Amino acid sequence: MKTARRGWYYRLSFPKKTALWGFIFLLPWLLGFLLLFLVPMVQTFQFSFNNLEIIPTGGIKLTPVGLENYRHALLVDPNFNPALVNTLIEVFLYTPLIIIFSLLCAILLNGKFRGRAVARAIFFIPIIMATGLMMQRVTNLSGQMQGAAESSNVYGAGFIAELLFNLGIGKQLVQYLLDMVNRIFEIVSLSGIQILIFLSALQAISPSLYEVAKIEGATAYETFWKVTVVMVSPMILTCTIYTMSDLFARSDIMTLVYNLAFRQSRFGLSTAMSSIYLLLSVLSIGLMALLIRKVVFYYD
Amino acid sequence: MNSTHLTKKQQKQLDKARRKSMKGVKIKHKSKFAKALTKGRSNRSVKGSLTLLACLFVFSLIMLFPVVFLVSNAFKPINELFIFPPKLFVIQPTLDNFADLFDLLSDSLIPFSRYLFNTLFIVLAGSVGHILISSMAAFPLAKFRFPGSKLLSNIVTLSLMFTAAVTAVPNYIIMSKLGFVDTYWSIILPAFSMSLGLFLMKNFMEQVPDALIDAAQIDGSTYFTMLWRIVMPAVKPAWITLFIVSFQTLWGNTAGNFIYTENMKPLPAMLTQIASSGVARAGVVSATSLIMFIVPVVVFIISQSNVLETMSTSGIKE
């Protein structure tokens, strides 16, 4: 009698209540996800087969053109293909470096030592700096300086470069070394969130595993490979996915697509390029993920 | 005893035994410096700590270089800015660049404070909303099992694979349909639904012991109370970190094609305009770069002690 008066909510079973609240909690995010992620994704593909015009009075006009946009992007546009190849090379070159570097940093920062707070603060600076305008300034600066090939003072390494140059090492090699130094900063600036993810994974490893390893007489080297790496391997997968999609999002293609759409109003061509790019990036990320998935260990 | 005749294993055992018997003596041998370095732990070697510090030092130098460059650039007089090859440190520091910047700002039609307000509103609303929405969504995904929860978790991970930035055109059209173009919401709303925040929060919340949540449930707490009073305080480092990340993302947002009205534009838009005015304003540009950099750094320093800290998830033994 009493329960009947108290309404339907009180008659729900516990799992059903949990599910109900789960969905209530998820609702705002889900709404945003559908509206601002899923719908635009689908529309990108839809627009790419059309000629899109924005009518001044509001609204849009679509005229189907079939594969014309794709043909133009791949065969006519002079900038698209080289940018695409460059981006792919860059992504596959940077990703392993970023993953290794950020795992290393996370392990270093996870240790207990004096001044850890300061060290962590310094390592967080790149995340702060990696914003659009700031990054532009820094890359511009290093770009300018790099332009001054022989005596350039990038990272205060000029004197080393000069020394190497004087020792009779070829100019190209010196240039390559300077290039690598430049890249180190780029890699560092891109690995902030990865360091974070790895740190959280490292802290989630149960200390009892290390205790067991110690009691069994494992060396630090063995412990690293057989406990640490194995336990963070799911996060290696996640980080790889995130790193690659981040790199894809930062490439020159984005500026190309953006300029085509909002400067030249060629929306159809722009969305066609985006679709090709999106497909390519998802394909390469998926391939990488499948490869890594084979060695990932899930601990339950 | 001659230790050269022993195998490595025996040597180790011997060492251990020795260390055990001489525990008190060994600590005395450590100098004050070594003690400080190893935080007084007897099982940490000075050599190991030194190597660690050396590694960190080298990396920090690389990270600090652009900062030093930026700061010293802001104080360089115009003739020093164009020295070739560029110098890392300023020779004759001057405040001219900042004076020029403020001259320029006082001439403009819209006051500096308006730009600042715009940016702060966008950044704060966007970050707080992002944290609220993603932690609300992360909580059930991390802690409860219900039909569809597994699928949704997979969707979150999968959506990390998609570069959301490629959808600029449809995004703009949706915003214009909703009537949000040329308002703050066109920047704030997309920030709400980034799946990275949800993913990070979910990862951290999975580390909160189930026992805590069970206890709350037995005591009859609602789901909101569970999230607010138990899970959120436990994952404080996570959401503070998330706040910093989303703060810096939004801080650098120029709102390029979403906001046209000049007095709605954020600070970076104005600074980019100044920056694009060429060589004559090089000094002003380096001053603005410094200002743009200082604010996130201050925010970071304030919340620094909580970032990346070890999660303290109560004393529950599982």
All residues of chain A having their beta carbon less than 8 Å from the beta carbon of residue B302 are: none
Name residue, tokens 């003596």: B25
Facing A108 at nearest CB: one of B52, B66, B310: B52
Element (H, E) at A64: strand A60-64
A36 sits in the region (left: phi over 0; alpha: psi -120 to 50; else beta) called: alpha
List of E strands, chain A = 50-54, 60-64
Nearest CA in chain A to B88: A156
Instruction: Select the more confidently predicted residue: B312 or A111.
Output: A111
Q: Is the pLDDT of residue B32 over 80?
A: no
Tokens, residue B266: 């954020």
State the pLDDT at residue A148: 42
DSSP at B86 = P
Compute, in degrees rounded to 10, the torsion defined by CA atoms A94, A95, A101, A103. 170
CB contact under 8 A, B160 and A203: no
All residues of chain B having their beta carbon less than 8 Å from the beta carbon of residue A47 are: 169-170
Residues of chain A with pLDDT under 70: 1-6, 57-59, 112-115, 117, 124, 126-185, 299-300
Q: How far is B267 from A268, CA to CA, in rounded Å?
A: 32
Nearest CA in chain A to B247: A128
Is A35 an interface residue toward B (CB < 8 Å)?
yes
Q: How many CA atoms lie within 13 A of A153 on its CB side?
A: 11
B contact residues 6-35, partner A, Cβ 8 Å cutoff: none
Nearest Cα of chain A lies from the Cα of B171 at a distance, in angstroms, of 6
Q: For residue A164, give the amino acid letter.
A: L
CB contact under 8 A, A242 and B196: yes
Q: What is the ipTM of this complex?
A: 0.72
Q: What is the pTM of this model?
A: 0.75
Q: Which CATH number fits domain B104-306: 1.10.3720.10, 3.40.50.11440, 1.10.10.60, 3.40.50.11540?
A: 1.10.3720.10
Q: What's the rounded mean pLDDT across residues B137-159?
A: 88
**pLDDT tens digits for range B82-105:** 666 666 677 777 788 888 877 877
Q: Is the pLDDT of residue B63 over 60?
A: yes
Is B303 an interface residue toward A (CB < 8 Å)?
no
How sure is the predictor about B3, in pLDDT bands with cuts at 50, 70 and 90? very low
Q: For residue B280, give the amino acid letter.
A: A
Q: Is the pLDDT of residue B314 over 50?
A: no
Is A228 an interface residue toward B (CB < 8 Å)?
no
B contact residues 161-220, partner A, Cβ 8 Å cutoff: 161-174, 176, 189-190, 192-193, 195-196, 198-200, 203-204, 206-207
**pLDDT tens digits for range B174-220:** 888 888 888 888 888 888 878 888 888 888 888 788 888 889 989 98
**Helix (H) and strand (E) counts in chain A:** 16, 2
Is the CB of residue A242 less than 8 Å from the CB of residue A196? no
- Sorted by where each begins, the domain ranges of chain B are 65-94, 104-306
**pLDDT tens digits for range A90-142:** 888 888 888 988 888 888 777 766 667 677 777 767 666 655 445 555 555 55
Is A279 an interface residue toward B (CB < 8 Å)?
no
How sure is the predictor about B313, in pLDDT bands with cuts at 50, 70 and 90? very low
Is the CB of residue A58 less than 8 Å from the CB of residue B172? no
Nearest Cα of chain A lies from the Cα of B286 at a distance, in angstroms, of 9
Nearest Cα of chain A lies from the Cα of B177 at a distance, in angstroms, of 8
CB contact under 8 A, B190 and A128: no
Q: Count of A–B CB contacts within 8 Å?
A: 275
Is the CB of residue A210 less than 8 Å from the CB of residue A247? no
